[in-house]
Amino acid sequence: QVQLVESGGGLVQAGGSLRLSCAVSGVIFSVNTMGWYRQAPGKQREPVATITSDFSTNYADSVKGRFTISRDNAKNTVYLQMSSLKPEDTAVYYCNSRHPRFLDWDYWGQGTRVTVSS
């Protein structure tokens, strides 16, 4: 079955960096749009970054210039490189995989927690 497993979360000081990974199985990874979303305490889940099969990217305004999303189709893995981290980035980060045409093929990981201390 489809499985998305996030890793790389943890505790980091403000201004530091962290790299999240999401390993995907059970889907044709190369054709799917991949994304990272986050949910802070008391907040709704929000999109952070997405990357298409053509490697086109989109970022939330709050992370532009600080975060970079990438994908390695040979490893069926998507990454989120986070730099210049702020306490406001503290959240559980979720990986998402979505087929570009069959939009009901929409899968989520369990999440990885990122805590940025000030």
Query: Which positions ≥6 away from 11 have C-beta within 8 Å?
Result: 115, 117
Q: For residue 3, what are the contacts with CB-CB under 8 A and spacing of at least 6?
A: 24, 25, 26
Q: What is the pLDDT of residue 7?
A: 97
Q: List pLDDT tens digits, range 38-59.
A: 999 999 999 999 999 999 999 9
**How far is it, in rounded angstroms, from Cα 33 to Cα 54?**
9
Q: What whole-number percentage of the chain has pLDDT above 70?
A: 100
Reported as a single tens digit per residue, the pLDDT across 59-101 is: 999 999 999 999 999 999 999 999 999 999 999 999 999 999 9
CA distance 1 to 45: 25
Give mean pLDDT, residues 7-34: 95
